[in-house]
């Protein structure tokens, strides 16, 4: 042999009759499996010890090929309880058969506890052996899973206890168990206060940690935003326009953070318009007062509305002068209205100068493409108002 | 000239407002705490109190409550940096006749003070938006006093114009009514806002964590 590594024993269900244990050993040793099988049957006939040994080998030795279809079905069936019951019946049948053959270790004191334990064992094993994708499914039903495992464990322990009781093994145990229980209760009473204090202490510590985390978060935010802006304000103190714009942007951001009214990530019409207004304000240094009534989720059409409103705000910023621009949004289920109003010089809508035509078209055209409409109201000396509607 | 008392815990801000209002209205006193404010207002009997919403010791709400016991007719204009709906609605329902934010210009503030002194209400665009939101068209109210529970079409129209940034006289021109009529509509809305037990209003308040 070139390799020193020993060849591991693998079951070979494809070439075996039951679990492929004999075939696997035969392959490992390099003889005909028939010889091993003859030896196995002889061992069964001589006292039956080979049967539990075979079962243990079946469970413990991994298989190198898929299980035979019958066992495969048994392992992957969904109805765990049925499988467990079946396993119990199988065990009972096998043991009864062995009893009629008068195999040495089978008698009534032994049989029924073993049946119960086998059923419970089947439950537990089914639970732990389920295919990965099933486990993922089961993860959604943790309570059921736990219930089955608990029932299985109870059956196994119950079976073991019945066996011990039936074999009079519990009589001395009783003398041991009672003092142990009494001592356990005493210890529990002594330790309970410490335990409770420990749990409470953990809860307190957790609350304190959350508080300090929150404080750290607030500090981090103020550092990033407010202190930064204050530093900028000091640097640009000679430029009142810039300082006013900085202060306003910071105010808007801080308000949004304090109110925290909308969950981040979920963009709505109102938040999108507020963001657009903040952006335009940052670019053009003209204050924009945003008032929103109602809200709705942002879809294609309202996104087009936001784009048109942004266009209108930019336009207003160029002509409005220093007076604030008003952006008013009223959104209901079936209708959204947006008004952008500036207090600039205004103009006669009938005599639109050609250079403003493009902007108007981009607003009006965009709204009409998305099934809405836009109207521009303006009177010389009274400012301009752009009205955007989708219904 | 209209007499005014300024109540605000920031001395810098009090001084700033004093300077801005100089010559436009007569500032006869100021106070920095709830206690001082109550004493000062009861003593000086100003036409209008400019009231900060957030102050230590109960804030503007506490001043409103204590002054109302001694001088029920006192008129208040709330002036605050906060534009959170719960602050605005709470101070209006407690009896303030108007609400403006501290970014308002001196001239506009003086104008608002004079209007309050005349018994009118002053709604900033944002307050108008909150009220429209609160009285949003919904299920018909089933409460006893139907008149209080809904805005009329005209009141709604006036509020929408305020929210869009129009001045009272511009609204009057657009709607073909007199400025006095616009003021009457706004006062009517203020009354409804203060007295309404409208289901929608309370639901709206709860949504915004407002404890009334």
Q: What angle do CA A176, A181, A184 make, to 5 degrees?
A: 125
Tell me: the pLDDT tens digits for B80-122? Answer: 877 777 777 888 888 888 888 877 888 888 888 988 888 888 8
In angstroms, the CA A51 to CA A28 distance is 21
C-alpha distances out from residue B102 to B9, B13, B79, Å: 14, 9, 6
Count of beta carbons in the 10 Å neighbourhood of residue A130: 19
Residue B114, SS3? Answer: helix
Beta strand pairing call for B48-51 and A336-342: unpaired
Residues of A in contact with B163 (CB under 8 A): 291, 293, 326, 328
| Nearest chain B CA: its distance from A344 CA (Å) | 13
In angstroms, the CA A67 to CA A14 distance is 7
Q: Is A325 exposed, middle or buried (0-12, 13-18, 19+ CB in 10 A)?
A: buried
- Residues 6 or more apart whose Cβ sits within 8 Å of residue B117: B2, B47, B48, B75
Beta strand pairing call for A325-331 and A336-342: antiparallel
Interface predicted TM-score (ipTM) over 0.90: no
Yes or no: say if B41 and B5 are a contact pair by the CB < 8 Å rule: yes
In angstroms, the CA A21 to CA A26 distance is 9
Domain extent listing, chain B: 1-119, 121-212
Yes or no: say if A227 and A250 are a contact pair by the CB < 8 Å rule: no
Give pLDDT, residue A175. Answer: 75
Count of beta carbons in the 10 Å neighbourhood of residue A214: 10
- Residues 6 or more apart whose Cβ sits within 8 Å of residue B12: none
Give pLDDT, residue A357. Answer: 60
Parts of chain A with a pLDDT under 50 = 1-5, 131-141, 262
CATH architecture of B1-119: 3-Layer(aba) Sandwich (3.40)
A264 touches chain B (CB under 8 A): no
In angstroms, the CA A261 to CA B204 distance is 14
Give pLDDT, residue A111. Answer: 72
Query: Nearest CA to A144 among A122, A127, A131?
Result: A127
Yes or no: say if B3 and B40 are a contact pair by the CB < 8 Å rule: no
* Backbone phi and psi for residue A145, each to the nearest 5 degrees, phi listed first: -60, -50
Per-residue tokens: A101: 């053959």
Give every strand in the sheet of A372-378, ordered side by side: A288-293, A325-331, A336-342, A384-390, A372-378
- Residues 6 or more apart whose Cβ sits within 8 Å of residue A248: A281, A287
Residues of B in contact with A259 (CB under 8 A): 84
A163 touches chain B (CB under 8 A): no
Domain extent listing, chain A: 13-169, 267-390
Q: 0.90 cut: is pTM over it?
A: no
Cβ–Cβ below 8 Å for B164 and A385: yes
User: Which 8-state DSSP code applies to residue B103?
Assistant: T
CATH of A267-390, one of 3.30.479.10, 3.30.565.10, 2.30.110.10, 3.20.20.10: 3.30.565.10
Per-residue tokens: A170: 């519990």
- Residues 6 or more apart whose Cβ sits within 8 Å of residue A274: A256, A290, A292
Give pLDDT, residue A339. Answer: 92
Give pLDDT, residue A49. Answer: 67
Per-residue tokens: B128: 């108008």
Considering only the top CATH level, what class is B121-212? mainly alpha
Count of beta carbons in the 10 Å neighbourhood of residue A7: 11
Residues of A in contact with B125 (CB under 8 A): 289, 291, 326, 328
Residues of A in contact with B137 (CB under 8 A): 332
Tell me: the pLDDT tens digits for A65-85? Answer: 766 666 666 555 556 667 777
A48 touches chain B (CB under 8 A): no
Cβ–Cβ below 8 Å for A330 and B126: no
User: Which 8-state DSSP code applies to residue B168?
Assistant: H
Q: Most B CBs within 10 Å: which of A289, A326, A329, A375, as the mutation test of the B interface?
A: A289
Q: Would you give per-residue pLDDT tens digits along chain B (212 residues)?
A: 889 899 988 888 888 888 888 888 888 888 888 888 888 888 888 899 988 888 877 788 888 888 888 888 889 999 887 777 777 788 888 888 888 887 788 888 888 898 888 888 888 888 888 888 877 755 444 554 566 667 788 888 898 898 888 888 888 988 899 988 988 898 888 888 887 665 455 555 555 544 33
A292 touches chain B (CB under 8 A): yes
Strands (E) located in B103-205: 122-123
Q: At what angle do helices B199-207 and B125-134 cross, to 10 degrees?
A: 110
In angstroms, the CA A294 to CA A389 distance is 15
Residues of A in contact with B84 (CB under 8 A): 258-259
In angstroms, the CA B50 to CA A263 distance is 35
Query: Nearest CA to A91 among A112, A108, A77?
Result: A112
């Amino acid at each position: 042999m070139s390799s020193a590594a020993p060849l591991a024993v693998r079951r070979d269900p494809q070439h075996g009759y039951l679990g492929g244990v004999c075939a696997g050993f035969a392959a490992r040793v390099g003889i005909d499996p028939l010889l091993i099988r003859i030896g196995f049957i002889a061992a069964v006939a001589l006292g039956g010890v080979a049967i539990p040994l075979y079962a243990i080998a079946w469970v413990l030795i991994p298989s190198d090929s898929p299980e035979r279809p019958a066992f495969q079905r048994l392992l992957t069936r969904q109805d765990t309880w049925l499988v467990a019951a079946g396993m119990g019946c199988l065990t009972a049948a096998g043991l009864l058969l062995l009893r009629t053959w008068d195999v040495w270790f089978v008698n009534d004191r032994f049989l029924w506890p073993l049946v119960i334990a086998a059923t419970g064992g089947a439950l537990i094993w089914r639970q732990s052996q389920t295919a990965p994708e099933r486990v993922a499914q089961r993860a959604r039903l943790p309570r059921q899973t736990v219930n089955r495992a608990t029932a299985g464990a109870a059956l196994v322990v119950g079976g073991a206890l019945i066996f011990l009781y039936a074999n009079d093994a519990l009589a001395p145990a009783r003398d041991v168990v009672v003092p142990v229980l009494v001592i356990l209760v005493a210890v529990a009473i002594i330790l309970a206060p410490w335990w409770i204090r420990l749990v409470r202490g953990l809860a307190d510590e957790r609350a304190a940690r959350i508080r300090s985390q929150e404080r750290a978060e607030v500090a981090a935010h103020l550092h990033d935003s407010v202190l930064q802006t204050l530093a900028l304000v000091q640097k640009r103190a000679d430029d009142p326009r810039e300082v006013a714009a900085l202060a306003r942007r910071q105010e808007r951001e801080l308000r949004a953070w304090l109110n925290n009214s909308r969950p981040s990530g979920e963009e709505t019409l109102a938040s999108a318009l507020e963001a657009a207004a903040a952006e335009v304000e940052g670019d053009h240094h003209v204050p924009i007062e945003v008032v929103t009534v109602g809200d709705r989720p942002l879809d294609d059409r309202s996104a087009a509305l936001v784009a048109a409103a942004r266009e209108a705000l930019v336009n207003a910023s160029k002509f409005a002068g220093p007076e604030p621009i008003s952006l008013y949004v009223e959104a209901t289920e079936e209708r959204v209205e947006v008004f952008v109003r500036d207090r600039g010089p205004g103009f006669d809508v009938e005599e639109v100068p050609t250079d403003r035509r493009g902007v108007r078209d981009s607003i009006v055209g965009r709204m009409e493409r998305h099934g809405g409409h836009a109207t521009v109201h303006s009177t010389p000396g009274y400012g301009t108002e752009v009205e955007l509607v989708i219904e | 000239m209209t007499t005014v008392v300024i109540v605000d815990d920031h001395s810098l801000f009090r001084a700033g407002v004093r300077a801005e209002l100089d010559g436009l209205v007569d500032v006869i006193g100021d106070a920095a705490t709830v206690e001082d404010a109550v004493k000062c207002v009861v003593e000086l009997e100003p036409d209008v109190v400019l009231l900060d919403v957030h102050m230590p010791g109960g804030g503007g709400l506490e001043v409103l409550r204590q002054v109302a016991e001694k001088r029920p007719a006192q008129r208040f204009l709330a002036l605050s940096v906060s534009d959170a709906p719960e602050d605005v609605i709470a101070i209006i329902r407690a009896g303030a006749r108007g609400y403006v934010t501290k970014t308002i210009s001196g001239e506009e503030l003086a104008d608002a003070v004079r209007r309050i002194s005349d018994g009118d209400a002053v709604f900033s665009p944002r307050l108008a938006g909150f009220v429209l939101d609160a009285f949003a068209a919904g299920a018909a109210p089933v409460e006893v006093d139907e008149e209080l529970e809904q805005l009329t079409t005209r009141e709604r129209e006036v509020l929408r114009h305020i929210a869009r940034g129009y001045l009272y006289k511009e609204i009057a021109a657009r709607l073909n009514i007199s400025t006095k009529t616009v003021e009457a509509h706004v006062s009517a809305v203020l009354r409804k806002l203060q007295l309404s037990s409208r289901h929608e209003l309370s639901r709206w308040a709860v949504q915004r964590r407002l404890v009334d």
